Structure 1
Amino acid sequence: MKPAIMRLIQICAFTLGMASLTMAQTPPTPGEPKRFPQITLEQLPPDARPLGEEIIAISSVGLGGPYNVMLRSPVFADRMKRLLDYLRFNTSLPTRLNEFAILIQGKVWSSQVEWYAHYPLALKAGLPQQVADDLKSGIRPRDMKPDEAVVYDVSMEMIQNHQISDALFQKSKAILGEQQLVDLVAVSGTYVTVAMLLALGQEMPPAGKPLPFPPK
């Protein structure tokens, strides 16, 4: 069978399985306390309070979301925030592609908070809404630009095969360059960690906001 046909079959099979790849991250059972009660600045150890203040200054959810879980391990939280500072604000990837990569992991993990937080950021950065909405629907986004298609294909092959083909590597390097390709994989893996932390704490969007992935 021709490589192009094999590639098409792989993409179609993976796309068809996207909707059932994971269950939606579910909120706490009604009436049950949060796994990690919301931490406050005053509850942090004195040497971690400057970190808490930094987070409050930049975070739309304050010390909520992943920070509420991360701050149970203050040294880890500090290291993780430094990494996120680079991957969010100083990465070599254009913001449009960076946010697309985060949304892909948000979809794969059905991460309520990741999608809620990053969907508007992706659109603001210039990702076409149809691309984001197709991703959320579990289909290969239509009409992607060449660099968006590379982000999608690299992310999906890494998720499915835990590696990428030589052909995709060469294509990705030609379109993104070496540094952007490395930063793409770095942000993707980091937001898997974020999604897992959110799942651990059953962290959800703010009260009253609809869940991006309603539990089935």
Structure 2
Amino acid sequence: MTVRVPLVTPGSRPELAEIEQRIMAERGRVSLLYQVLLNSAPIANGWERMLTAVRNQTAIPASLREIIILRIAVLNRAAYEFDAHIPHAEKAGVSAAKIDALRAGQTGTGALFTDAEQVVLELTDAMTRDVQVPDALFARVSALFTPQDVVELVATVAAYNMVSRFLVALNIGH
């Protein structure tokens, strides 16, 4: 399948120069995702700012963030997102065994994941599959994390559900 909207070649629209420069500064390149987003300057601008905050400005450990992202990619069948985040997960210290387990959908496998990782995976599953988070699960999350961490975890799950659903709907990376 092909991407469902035209790609915007970086440098082809002068009015997008500032946004493209910010994307380059944060990401090092204008990826396929951003070439699609650039069809709408306001969306590309807001997306870049929001995802930069979620990905680079929270207190959530990078390894935990990447575990969340990989799990969401599997749940939402966003292979492009999963593959794009493997290098980030590896850089953050997520083991090959954990990446393989996440790819296979095996998140409840014994002692592979820490207690904190396990509860965050359960939060990710609840938010992605059911939207609502059961009170008992939320109590477990709150017992392990500060209010700031909880907000940042929930925002990360919500944001990357948006990313994966955007990718899948527009056939980005297929």
Q: Compute the TM-score of the two structures, normalised by the length of structure 1.
A: 0.72
2-structure distance, mates of 1:41, 1:161: 38
1-structure distance, mates of 2:18, 2:108: 42
Instruction: Specify the code of the residue in structure 1 equivalent to 2:65.
Output: N
Partner residue of 1:76?
43
Structure 2's unaligned 5+ residue stretches are none
Alignment of 1:142-181 (within 5 A): 142=109, 143-181=112-150
Instruction: Specify the code of the residue in structure 2 equivalent to 1:126.
Output: G
Partner residue of 2:31?
64
1-structure distance, mates of 2:63, 2:96: 11
2-structure distance, mates of 1:58, 1:113: 19
Post-superposition shift, 1:36? 3.0
Which 10-residue stretch deviates more, 133-142 or 84-93? Answer: 133-142
Partner residue of 2:170?
201
Partner residue of 1:17?
none
Moved segments of 4+, more than 4 Å = none
Q: Compute the TM-score of the two structures, normalised by the length of structure 2.
A: 0.88
Which 10-residue stretch deviates more, 99-108 or 137-146? Answer: 137-146
Instruction: Specify the code of the residue in structure 2 equivalent to 1:101.
Output: I
Q: Could you tell me whether the CA contact under 8 Å between 1:66 and 1:194 is conserved in 2?
A: no
* TM-aligned CA distance change 1:165 to 1:200, over 3 Å: closer
C-alpha deviations, 1:36-73, integer Å up to 9, x for none? 33312333352x2111122123335x323221221111
Partner residue of 2:18?
50
Alignment of 1:1-216 (within 5 A): 27-28=1-2, 34-46=3-15, 48-59=16-27, 62-142=29-109, 143-204=112-173
C-alpha deviations, 1:9-49, integer Å up to 9, x for none? xxxxxxxxxxxxxxxxxx43xxxxx4333312333352x21
1-structure distance, mates of 2:33, 2:82: 13
Which 10-residue stretch deviates more, 164-173 or 96-105? Answer: 164-173
Work out the number of aligned pairs and report it.
172
* TM-aligned CA distance change 1:197 to 1:159, over 3 Å: closer
RMSD of aligned Cα (Å): 1.9
C-alpha deviations, 1:80-115, integer Å up to 9, x for none? 111111111111211111111111111112212211
Choose 1 or 2 for highest CA Rg: 1
2:11 alignment partner, SS class: helix
Identity of aligned residues (%): 28
Instruction: Specify the code of the residue in structure 1 equivalent to 2:40.
Output: S
2-structure distance, mates of 1:141, 1:130: 13
Post-superposition shift, 1:75? 0.9
Structure 1's unaligned 5+ residue stretches are 1-26, 29-33, 206-216
Partner residue of 1:6?
none
